[in-house]
Structure 1
């Protein structure tokens, strides 16, 4: 895209100003991709009802 998102320093990689500017949007994209993956895998379900747990003394 023609923008530098990370800068290599002696401490490792750090975000540039452009990188900081797209973090929230990137996280939304990731959440959307994971939601698609869950839906296609059949794991997206709304559970409801009572949960009963029993154990011995």
Structure 2
């Protein structure tokens, strides 16, 4: 791949990343009305289920 094309692809990759305030994946605000609190199962139980399903 040519150097010029490689640079262009890197620029496109950086432009695809959304670090703005609209990205709810990285700008999560706890306590808003639209959040869901998961109380069951416990973290330990959930982890056990995830691990057992991978095997």
TM range, normalised to the smaller chain? 0.3 to 0.5
When Rg is computed on C-alpha atoms for both structures, the one with the higher figure is 1
Question: Which of the pair is proportionally richer in strand?
Answer: 1
Instruction: State the TM-score, normalizing by the size of structure 1.
Output: 0.31
Larger RCO, structure (CA 8 Å, separation 6 or more): 1
